[in-house]
Amino acid sequence: VNTNVDLPPVISHIPTDQKICFLTIDDGAEKDPAFLQMVKDFRIPITMFLADIFIQDDYNYFTQLRDTGYCTIQNHTLHHPDMPTLSAARQLSEVTGQQQKLVKTYNTHPYLFRAPFGNTNKATQEACKQNSLKAICYWRASFQKQGFQWQAADKKLRPGDILLAHFRGPKANGKGWPEMHELMTNLFRIVQQQGYTFARLEDYV
């Protein structure tokens, strides 16, 4: 993806003919120890878009995920607001504040951004540019409790699709939710059944 443009581009897939997709997981509310072990066992590359409001009660959980070598950390704002409802100054504060937190807490320099709810405007792009964020990531399919919500009518993956999931489970979302590792087992199964494998988003953007 060419990021050498005036404003960070908004992307939902990677141009490729390979049967690969990209797993991104948002927020950080659920912190399932078994998922940490799953990441080590399955060795699947994951891009985590973390919002401080969800991770501040246990920063170390995401340190452990990062230290597996399979999980990278990117910017998802401080407080998870609907960005276009904010002034340009407040949008900049959300992006800059989280960028500074992630640099300080994880010694990493995010260069990708995901807006909460997938809502952006030009001020969002400007805020990202001021923080040296190179691209804004949308998605082609999102994973819910029952499975994927597909944008494609035939409910099939396409080469280069970016997939959205969330750190969810019974502790964060209430009784009736599967554990995070169970949700991800189901996601992995569906992707495999469609003949796809996972690649690292940061290797392509």
CATH of the domain at 47: 3.20.20.370
Question: Is 66 within the bounds of a domain?
Answer: yes
Asked whether residue 165 carries a pLDDT value surpassing 90, the answer given is yes
Question: Is 4 within the bounds of a domain?
Answer: no
Range of the domain at 24: 10-203
Chain segment 21-63, per-residue pLDDT in tens: 999 999 999 999 999 999 999 999 999 999 999 999 999 999 9
Chain segment 81-116, per-residue pLDDT in tens: 999 999 999 999 999 999 999 999 999 999 999 999
Beta carbons of 68 and 36 less than 8 angstroms apart: yes
Q: How far apart are CA 180 and CA 129, in angstroms?
A: 33
pLDDT of residue 169: 97
Q: Which residue, 201, 27, 168, is CA-closest to 98?
A: 27
Question: Is 1 within the bounds of a domain?
Answer: no
* Average pLDDT of the segment spanning 141-150: 94
Q: How far apart are CA 24 and CA 46, in angstroms?
A: 6
Q: How many domains does the chain have?
A: 1
Q: How far apart are CA 127 and CA 7, in angstroms?
A: 10
